[in-house]
Amino acid sequence: MTESTTETAPRQDDEQSRLFERLTGTWKVTGGASGTVTYRPLEGGHFLLQTIELEQHGQPVTGLEVIGREKPFGAEEPGEDILSRFYDNQGHTFVYVYEPAGDTLTIWGGEKGSPAYYRGEFSADGNTLSGAWVYPGGGGYESSMTRATPLD
């Protein structure tokens, strides 16, 4: 009898689970926007909720983001990409794709490969995420998050 040497691929949710663990907690945001953001896992572990209280361009911005793999009605498995929908007090609705790769986190505006994105690096201890938002045609801003408190 021959044994199979095929390696088992990592579970699709492992990358998402690691990202959720890294982000969970309250963070102080500095740079082009300042304030706090809090990430909390939704019961079941399939989604992460982010609430924000920021000031940007002299305006208060509050909002809610739901992050996770979509599993539409009737689907047996969730999709491959880690997607999010963000809603704010100014009536905006934004869609993002989160792409973690080691200590780098890219957040694409709309879809992967978009000209609007955030790219940041986690510090060695995981308590800082520093990078910048890039917008098409220029603009964008540096942004850094420092963990203020972990959540249980």
CATH value at residue 18 = 2.40.128.20
Chunked in runs of 10, what are the mean pLDDT values of the chain (152 residues)? 42 80 97 97 96 96 97 94 97 97 97 97 97 93 94 68
Which pLDDT does position 3 carry in this prediction?
44
What is the spatial distance between Cα 62 and Cα 37, in angstroms, rounded to a whole number?
9
Total tally of structural domains belonging to the chain: 1
Give the per-residue pLDDT at 5. Answer: 40
Which pLDDT value is given to residue 7? 45
7 in any annotated domain? no
Half-sphere exposure of 45 (CA within 13 A, CB side): 8
Is residue 6 one of the residues assigned to a domain? no
Alpha helix locations (H) across the chain?
A: 12-23
In a domain, 4, yes or no: no
Q: Is residue 21 part of a domain?
A: yes
CA 138/CA 140 separation, integer angstroms? 7
User: Is the CB of residue 150 less than 8 Å from the CB of residue 25?
Assistant: yes
Residue linked to tokens 């009605």: 73
Give me the pLDDT at residue 139, please: 84
pLDDT at 151: 72
Domain span holding position 73: 12-147
C-beta of residue 33 within 8 angstroms of C-beta of residue 55: yes
| Cα–Cα–Cα angle for 130, 97, 66, rounded to 5 degrees | 90
**Considering the entire predicted model, what is its pTM?**
0.88
